[in-house]
């Protein structure tokens, strides 16, 4: 086997607990060949992995996961010339403090069609009663758009979800959470 390429080895259709996996430790430094038994790997996987850093799935599936003690990324957004632009990939929890009337809310980079995405937007009213105008892609209960609370420091929360790449956002809201 020492002179056989890995790509030329027979493919297993099932794994026995005594089967071995070939491991090359530190391949870029001083490589050392080791083996790992299938039952040891199984025990390790079942007791849980502790990881740090990011895992990029690039819109691919993670099946049958159970999430405990998780969070979503939070972003604080400002508006410019009446436009509030939210990049979905930065975080699905958004805080915006009004400093001008919002004439357009734009959500860029939503999940692709067929995938579910949701976003929670907290809007804080400033000392001057500001307004938010919602486009036709934002659907609210009974067809009545959210109207911003008018008291200084009032906080309105708008929860949005989409399954069609942001063509339509289904929205609910709670007003005056101050």
Q: Where do the structural domains in the chain lie, given as residue ranges?
A: 15-46, 74-174
Q: What is the pLDDT of residue 131?
A: 97
Q: What is the pLDDT of residue 2?
A: 62
Exposure letters 54-67 (e unless 16+ CB within 10 A, then b): eeeeeeeeeeeeee
Q: What are phi and psi of 164, to 5 degrees?
A: -125, 40
Contact 34/25 with Cβ under 8 angstroms?
yes
Q: Kindly report, residue by residue over 79-105, the tens digit of the pLDDT.
A: 999 999 999 999 999 999 999 999 999
**What predicted TM-score, i.e. pTM, was given to this entire model?**
0.70
Q: Kindly report, residue by residue over 117-132, the tens digit of the pLDDT.
A: 999 999 999 999 999 9
Q: How does DSSP assign 57-126, residue by residue? A: -TT---TT----S----EEE--EETTEEEEETTT-SEEEEE-SS-B-EEEEESPPPTTS-EEEEEEEE--
Mean pLDDT (the chain) is: 89
Q: Is the pLDDT of residue 53 over 90?
A: no
Q: What is the dihedral of CA 129, 133, 138, 143, to 10 degrees?
A: 80
């Amino acid at each position: 086997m020492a002179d056989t390429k890995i790509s030329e080895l027979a493919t297993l259709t099932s794994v026995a607990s005594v089967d071995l996996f070939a491991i090359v430790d530190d391949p870029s430094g001083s490589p050392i060949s080791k083996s790992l038994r299938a039952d040891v790997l199984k025990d390790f996987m079942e007791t849980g992995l502790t990881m740090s850093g990011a895992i990029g799935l690039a819109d691919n599936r993670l099946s049958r996961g159970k999430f405990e003690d998780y969070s979503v990324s939070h972003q604080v957004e400002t508006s410019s010339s009446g436009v509030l632009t939210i990049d979905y990939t930065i975080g699905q929890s958004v805080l915006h403090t009004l400093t001008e009337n919002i004439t357009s809310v734009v959500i860029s980079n939503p999940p692709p069609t067929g995938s579910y995405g949701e976003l929670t937007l907290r809007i804080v009213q400033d000392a001057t009663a500001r307004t938010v105008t919602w486009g036709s892609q934002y659907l609210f209960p009974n067809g009545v758009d959210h109207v911003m609370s008018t008291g200084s420091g009032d906080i309105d929360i708008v929860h949005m979800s989409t399954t069609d790449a942001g063509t339509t956002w289904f929205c609910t809201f709670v007003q005056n959470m101050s």
